[in-house]
Structure 1
Amino acid sequence: MQQDETLQETPENDGVNPDNLFPFAGTSEEFSKLLSTGTYESFENRVFLCGSCACGKSTLASVLIGSPIPLTWKSTDGLVIHFGRNGINLETFEMVPLQGEDRGQNVLTKVVIGKPTRETGTCQSSDNHLDQPIAPSPMGADNLQSNLQPIKKEVSNSSKVSQSSDACLTESRNLPGTNTITFDIKKATSISLPKMKKIEAYAVHDDILKEVKSGQYKIKIAPSDLVDFGGQRSYDMTHQLFVQHGGTFVVMFDGSRDFHEPLKEYPTGDISNESIVKHWVNSILTYCVDDTDVMPMILFAATHSDLLSEDLQKMKKCFVKKVTDMFGTHERKKHFVFDPVFFINGTDKNDQEIQNLKNQLVSIARNQPSWGLRRPMIWVPLELLISNMKKDNVNIIFKSHLAEANKMNGDLALSDKQLDDFLLTQHALGKIMYFNQPELNNFIILYPPALVNILRSFITDELFWPDDESLRKILRDMTDTGKIYKKDLLKLWQQERFHAYIPDDDFKEFVIQVLIHLDVLVLPKLYSGTSNAHVIYYLVPCTVKDKMPMSFLDDKSFANRTLSLVYRLQKASIPSALSFKLIGAVSSIWPIKELNGRPLLYHSSAVLCVDEKTEFRMIVEDSKVVVYLTHMSSKSSISPDIAASIQECLTSTLEVVLKFYLSIIGKSQKKENVSNLFQIEVGEVCGRSSCVVSISKAKLNSDWVCNSGIKHSSRYPLLWCFNKTQEECPSHCPGLANTILTTSPTEQQLSRFANQLTNNSCRELMLHLGLQRQDWEDIEDCYTGKSLIIRIMVLHLWKTKRIKGKPTKSFRNLLDALTAVGDQRHLLCKVFREETDLLDIADVRLQEVPHDDVLNGLPKHLGNCAIQLGIELGVTMSSINETMVRHHKDMYKQISDILVKWKSSRQIKPTIYRLMLALERVDIGGLDYLKNIYLGQ
Structure 2
Amino acid sequence: MDMTKSLDEPVNEDEISGHWCGLMKDCTYLDVFKFWLNSIHMNSGYKSMTGAICPTVILVGTRKDEMSGNDKEKEIQKDNYFDKALGSFERSSVLHHIHSKKFLVNNLSREDRVFHEIRREIKLLAEKQDYWGEKCPVQWIQMEQSVDKLRDKGEQLLQMSDIKTANRSLIHPLPEQELVAFLDMQHRHGNLLYFNTDQLKNLVVLAPQWIIKVFKRFITHTPDKNPLYLEHWRTYENNAILKPEVFNEIMDRSSDDIKQKRDHVMHYMEHLDVMAKPLKFEDDVAPTNLQKPQQDTVDLAVNVNPEFLDFHIVPCRLRKQPPPIEQFTSPEQCKKTPVLCFVFVHNFMPPSFFHRLIAMCIRTWPISTQDNTKVLYNGLAAFDINETYVLTIWYKDHIIYARITSCKKDIKSGLNFEKCQEVRLILRQSLLKFAGQSLEDPWTNTAFEEHIQCPDMKKTLYNRGMFRVTSFMYFSEFACTACPNRHAIGRYEALNDWYKDALDRFNNGNCDGSLKPVEESDLLKVSEVIGNGFWLLGIQLGLTDAAMNKLYEKWGKDRRTFVFKFLVKWRNRNGEKATLKSLNIALHAAHVNLPNDKNTEQAFPVLSQPHPCASTSKSAKPRCWLF
Same fold (TM over 0.5): yes
- The structure carrying a bigger strand percent of its residues is 1
Structure-to-structure mapping, 1:282-681, within 5 angstroms: 282-285=38-41, 288=46, 291-308=50-67, 310-324=69-83, 327=86, 330=91, 332=93, 333-339=95-101, 341-409=102-170, 412-415=173-176, 419-420=179-180, 422-424=182-184, 426-459=186-219, 465-466=220-221, 468=223, 478-495=236-253, 498-504=254-260, 507-525=261-279, 537-547=311-321, 549-553=325-329, 555-558=331-334, 560-574=335-349, 576-593=351-368, 599-633=374-408, 637-658=414-435, 660=437, 668-672=440-444, 675-681=445-451
Q: Choose 1 or 2 for highest CA Rg.
A: 1
Matched, 1:715 2:492: yes
Select which of 683, 686, 705 maps to 2:457. Answer: 686
In 2, Cα distance between the equivalents of 1:593 and 1:479?
Answer: 17
Partner secondary structure for residue 671 of structure 1: coil
Superposed displacement of residue 693, structure 1: 0.6
Structure 2 vs 1, CA of residues 371 and 686 (structure 1 numbering), >3 Å: closer, same or farther?
same
Superposed displacement of residue 602, structure 1: 0.6
In 1, Cα distance between the equivalents of 2:106 and 2:233?
Answer: 37
Structure 2 vs 1, CA of residues 334 and 451 (structure 1 numbering), >3 Å: closer, same or farther?
closer
In 2, Cα distance between the equivalents of 1:398 and 1:716?
Answer: 58
Superposed displacement of residue 388, structure 1: 2.0
Superposed displacement of residue 384, structure 1: 3.4
In 2, Cα distance between the equivalents of 1:622 and 1:331?
Answer: 10
In 1, Cα distance between the equivalents of 2:506 and 2:349?
Answer: 40
Superposed displacement of residue 235, structure 1: 1.4
In 2, Cα distance between the equivalents of 1:643 and 1:719?
Answer: 10
CA contact (8 A) 2:4 2:67 kept: no
CA contact (8 A) 1:482 1:540 kept: yes
- Cα displacement string for residues 85-129 of structure 1 (whole angstroms, at most 9, x for unaligned residues): xxxxxxxxxxxxxxxxxxxxxxxxxxxxxxxxxxxxxxxxxxxxx
Structure-to-structure mapping, 1:104-119, within 5 angstroms: none
Structure 2 vs 1, CA of residues 571 and 501 (structure 1 numbering), >3 Å: closer, same or farther?
same
Superposed displacement of residue 371, structure 1: 2.5
Structure 2 vs 1, CA of residues 53 and 669 (structure 1 numbering), >3 Å: closer, same or farther?
farther
Structure 2 vs 1, CA of residues 430 and 698 (structure 1 numbering), >3 Å: closer, same or farther?
farther
Structure 2 vs 1, CA of residues 443 and 327 (structure 1 numbering), >3 Å: closer, same or farther?
closer
Structure 2 vs 1, CA of residues 52 and 307 (structure 1 numbering), >3 Å: closer, same or farther?
closer
CA contact (8 A) 1:320 1:338 kept: no
Partner of 2:527: none
In 1, Cα distance between the equivalents of 2:369 and 2:147?
Answer: 47
Superposed displacement of residue 313, structure 1: 2.0
In 2, Cα distance between the equivalents of 1:550 and 1:606?
Answer: 13
Which residues of structure 2 form unaligned runs of 5+? 281-295, 300-307, 510-594, 599-627
Q: Which amino acid in 1 is paired with 2:64? A: S
Superposed displacement of residue 617, structure 1: 1.2
Q: How high is the TM-score relative to the length of structure 2?
A: 0.62
- Cα displacement string for residues 600-627 of structure 1 (whole angstroms, at most 9, x for unaligned residues): 3210221133333433111011331111
Structure 2 vs 1, CA of residues 641 and 513 (structure 1 numbering), >3 Å: closer, same or farther?
farther
Q: Which amino acid in 2 is paired with 1:367? A: K
Partner of 1:874: none
In 2, Cα distance between the equivalents of 1:645 and 1:430?
Answer: 45
Q: Which amino acid in 2 is paired with 1:500? A: D
Structure 2 vs 1, CA of residues 275 and 537 (structure 1 numbering), >3 Å: closer, same or farther?
closer
Sequence identity percentage: 16
Structure-to-structure mapping, 1:57-68, within 5 angstroms: none
Partner of 2:610: none
In 1, Cα distance between the equivalents of 2:160 and 2:298?
Answer: 21
Q: Which amino acid in 1 is paired with 2:331? A: D
CA contact (8 A) 1:636 1:716 kept: no
In 1, Cα distance between the equivalents of 2:342 and 2:418?
Answer: 19
Select which of 696, 706, 709 maps to 2:480. Answer: 706
In 2, Cα distance between the equivalents of 1:577 and 1:562?
Answer: 26
Partner of 2:302: none
Structure 2 vs 1, CA of residues 656 and 729 (structure 1 numbering), >3 Å: closer, same or farther?
closer
Q: Which amino acid in 2 is paired with 1:481? A: N
Partner of 1:144: none
Structure 2 vs 1, CA of residues 55 and 712 (structure 1 numbering), >3 Å: closer, same or farther?
closer
Q: Which amino acid in 1 is paired with 2:255? A: H
In 2, Cα distance between the equivalents of 1:348 and 1:358?
Answer: 16
- Cα displacement string for residues 673-708 of structure 1 (whole angstroms, at most 9, x for unaligned residues): xx4453321243621116431012222333433222
Structure-to-structure mapping, 1:787-866, within 5 angstroms: none
Structure-to-structure mapping, 1:147-166, within 5 angstroms: none
In 1, Cα distance between the equivalents of 2:447 and 2:297?
Answer: 31
Structure-to-structure mapping, 1:58-137, within 5 angstroms: 78=16
Superposed displacement of residue 479, structure 1: 4.4
In 2, Cα distance between the equivalents of 1:431 and 1:836?
Answer: 51
Partner secondary structure for residue 715 of structure 1: helix
In 1, Cα distance between the equivalents of 2:327 and 2:30?
Answer: 27
In 2, Cα distance between the equivalents of 1:618 and 1:529?
Answer: 24
Partner of 2:536: none
How many positions carry a matched residue from both structures? 466
- Cα displacement string for residues 144-171 of structure 1 (whole angstroms, at most 9, x for unaligned residues): xxxxxxxxxxxxxxxxxxxxxxxxxxxx
- Cα displacement string for residues 860-894 of structure 1 (whole angstroms, at most 9, x for unaligned residues): xxxxxxxxxxxxxxxxxxxxxxxxxxxxxxxxxxx
In 1, Cα distance between the equivalents of 2:113 and 2:13?
Answer: 26
In 2, Cα distance between the equivalents of 1:52 and 1:572?
Answer: 27
CA contact (8 A) 1:641 1:722 kept: no
- Cα displacement string for residues 466-495 of structure 1 (whole angstroms, at most 9, x for unaligned residues): 484759x99886342122333333333344
Structure 2 vs 1, CA of residues 647 and 368 (structure 1 numbering), >3 Å: closer, same or farther?
same
In 1, Cα distance between the equivalents of 2:3 and 2:126?
Answer: 27
Partner secondary structure for residue 347 of structure 1: coil
In 2, Cα distance between the equivalents of 1:330 and 1:317?
Answer: 23
Partner secondary structure for residue 218 of structure 2: coil
In 2, Cα distance between the equivalents of 1:303 and 1:647?
Answer: 46
In 2, Cα distance between the equivalents of 1:655 and 1:641?
Answer: 21
In 1, Cα distance between the equivalents of 2:401 and 2:12?
Answer: 38
In 2, Cα distance between the equivalents of 1:360 and 1:536?
Answer: 49
Q: Which amino acid in 1 is paired with 2:340? A: L
Q: Which amino acid in 2 is paired with 1:555? A: P
Structure 2 vs 1, CA of residues 377 and 657 (structure 1 numbering), >3 Å: closer, same or farther?
farther
In 1, Cα distance between the equivalents of 2:250 and 2:412?
Answer: 46
- Cα displacement string for residues 346-374 of structure 1 (whole angstroms, at most 9, x for unaligned residues): 23212233333233223223332222222
